Structure 1
Amino acid sequence: MIETKTVHVRGIEYAITDSAGQGVPVMLVHGWPDDRTIWRHQQKYLSELGYRVISVDWAGHGDSSKPKDISRYHITELGLDTVFLLDALKIDKVHLIAHDYGATVSWETVANYPKRFQSFCAISVGHAVEILRDIAKGYLFDYLWLILHGMDKASKHWYLSNGAKRFKEKFASHPDANYILSKLLANKETLFWTLWERANPSYNVIYRHYLKGQKDKRITVPTFAIYSKDDEWMTEGQLARSSKYVSSTWRYECVEGGHWVQLQNPREINELLESWLSSQSVNNAKLKN
């Protein structure tokens, strides 16, 4: 039975959907401007295969708490929340599947807490250093939204002015565009629009990765990367090059679809995730023998 509940973690009420049971645990984490409903096809499919599937609303999103303290949305803080969520759910190890900003958080979390993860799957977004490398190589225009989203009030005005004309253009391929737009229109504060970028400005990312050594930490669990051919927000290079940070099994697939591929092409994504998780079960069985 799939149930919706809240889990108290470090002062935040996290809203989750949990299929519970004794199956191998799988955690699904979303990005911006989504919530856990973006995983509805995968939640159902993987649950029916017997996995215990947990999809999470990040702090500041969906039905989870929305703290005013912007530092609470820092990647390292959210990574620690991920581990505490596992503790609260009494899960020792989990297969982590992440999209968009959820993947940004998860690249760092898996590197910092490898013993808590059976495997890692990143959809659309690669290691933060490779995104910075893209920008340095001249792809700044592709990432102008990073600057826009970090400007208090500016992004909301840009997206919603003129009858939300720009939002409708930029999110035309999002299957849940009307739902997202209604959510954004109902949100009177600007924090939701800017929290990821304001909490994790580029200079802080550079400091942590280059001066504090985060970029030298390897992903030591099996890692699967999925890129979609028509992604309007991210280049393929930043994800493909992320293999250099993985010292375990690496698998890479490029599929049909845009940035929200789990909604746009759910059948292929479901089958790829089934194949990936099944292969990890086989590998684990071999190791035990």
Structure 2
Amino acid sequence: MTTDFPEPTRIPVNGVELEVFEAGRQNAGNPIVLCHGWPEHAFSWRYQVPALAAAGYHVIVVNQRGYGNSSRPAEVTDYDIEHLSGDLVALLDHYGYTDATFVGHDWGAFVVWGLTLLHPNRVNGVVALSVPYQERGETPWIEFMEAVLGADFYFVHFNRQPGVADAVFEENTFRFLRNLYRKNVPPAEPQPGNALINLARAGTPLGEPVMSDSELAVFVSAFESTGFTGGINWYRNLDRNWRLLADVDPIIRHPTLMIYGDRDTVARAGRLTEFVPNAEVVTLDCGHWIQQEKPTETTEAILKWLNQREADQQPRTQKIPSRAEL
């Protein structure tokens, strides 16, 4: 790791070991758990960790299963929402916490939404970046995407052609990550084929880099070690997750902050507050890699929301009138 990112520990939970980075241990009792997306790493939260610890939180940043030095089970079904949310519940148990605030970006947001649906009592607040609550609908998600977006859409491709994209990304790890982590990318005509495979093979990156060379090297080193299959297996469970969530209450009533990037290609939720009635929405001037593109603004938005929620939770005291007022 570069900068002052915490040193990791490996914690056995839920039949796997997770690589966990902590800050603000002196703030035990006030946990906040940060969950990365794909193809990311706990290091993607490097800008938020010190500020949250300074604000009085016990910050727990996890490389989820399939990433970094965490376990990478071989079975695809070991990456479904029950396993991924179960890891986070077991992590709370490890620290002795009943619940925590959970922050997720990209796939991490999807996992936090699922965790909140499956284990509502273990979550006291939700912060989601980029990926909003996903309505379940009547058709399994991959089946729906295939009908609407076609077989080359990367969600569909990962499911229908297992191993193909994994191999391309592993052959071109540095190039893929360098080309992916960009901002201010000019619009371009879509090309035939899988867009991410095309990106992994592209010789020249577009736009501007999101990270410095040394920061990008952390991601490249991690994925050169692990490959990409563990993270892609999360995508390969989308229809399984659709079935696993069939019988849960679809309404999330927890205090929620939804942070969008106004140039993100991920679609916004048209009916967010119908399913998440206590959601507050913030939009930042950035693309998909929100907390890395706009670190200060992201941190400020999260802290403002946390502070307001804390103020709202303070017990109301009744003023006792003085003798003169009686």
What TM-score, normalized by structure 2, do the two folds share?
Answer: 0.75
Instruction: Verify the 8 A CA contact 1:153 1:190 in the aligned structure 2.
Output: no
The corresponding residue for 2:162 is 152
The one-letter code of the counterpart of 1:245 is F
Q: Please point out which of 5, 20, 42 is paired with 2:48.
A: 42
Q: Please point out which of 210, 219, 223 is paired with 2:252.
A: 219
Determine the C-alpha separation between the residues in 2 that align with 1:265 and 1:65: 31
Q: Please point out which of 271, 293, 308 is paired with 1:279.
A: 308
Q: Give the C-alpha shift of residue 5 in structure 1.
A: 1.6
The corresponding residue for 2:192 is none
Count of residues paired in the alignment: 279
Identity between Structure 1 and Structure 2 (%): 24
Q: Please point out which of 288, 291, 301 is paired with 1:259.
A: 288
Matches within 5 A, 1:1-289: 4-19=8-23, 20-23=25-28, 24-129=30-135, 132=141, 140=149, 144-150=153-159, 151-159=161-169, 168-173=178-183, 174-175=210-211, 177-187=216-226, 191-192=229-230, 194-198=232-236, 200-202=237-239, 204-209=240-245, 212-214=246-248, 216-232=249-265, 234-236=266-268, 238=269, 240-247=270-277, 249-286=278-315
Q: Give the C-alpha shift of residue 280 in structure 1.
A: 1.4
Change (3 A) 1:163 1:253: closer
Change (3 A) 1:253 1:137: farther
Change (3 A) 1:57 1:163: closer
Change (3 A) 1:109 1:193: closer
Change (3 A) 1:184 1:106: same
The one-letter code of the counterpart of 2:20 is I
Q: Give the C-alpha shift of residue 114 in structure 1.
A: 1.8
Change (3 A) 1:137 1:34: closer
Unaligned runs of 5+ in 1: none
Q: Which sits farther off after the overlay, 7-16 or 263-272? A: 7-16
Q: Give the C-alpha shift of residue 118 in structure 1.
A: 1.7
Determine the C-alpha separation between the residues in 2 that align with 1:137 and 1:11: 33
Instruction: Verify the 8 A CA contact 1:152 1:194 in the aligned structure 2.
Output: no
Determine the C-alpha separation between the residues in 2 that align with 1:16 and 1:166: 26
Instruction: Verify the 8 A CA contact 2:36 2:107 in the aligned structure 1.
Output: yes
Determine the C-alpha separation between the residues in 1 that align with 2:309 and 2:163: 45
Bigger Rg, which one? 2
The structure whose residues are more often helix, as a share, is 1
Instruction: Verify the 8 A CA contact 1:17 1:55 in the aligned structure 2.
Output: yes
The one-letter code of the counterpart of 2:98 is D
The one-letter code of the counterpart of 1:265 is K
- For residues 238-275 of structure 1, what are the alpha-carbon distances to aligned partners after superposition, in whole Å with 9 as ceiling and x for unaligned? 3x53322124x220111111111101100000000110
The one-letter code of the counterpart of 1:90 is G
- SS of the aligned residue for 1:128 comes to coil
- SS of the aligned residue for 2:46 comes to helix
Determine the C-alpha separation between the residues in 2 that align with 1:47 and 1:71: 35
Instruction: Verify the 8 A CA contact 2:19 2:62 in the aligned structure 1.
Output: yes
What TM-score, normalized by structure 1, do the two folds share?
Answer: 0.84
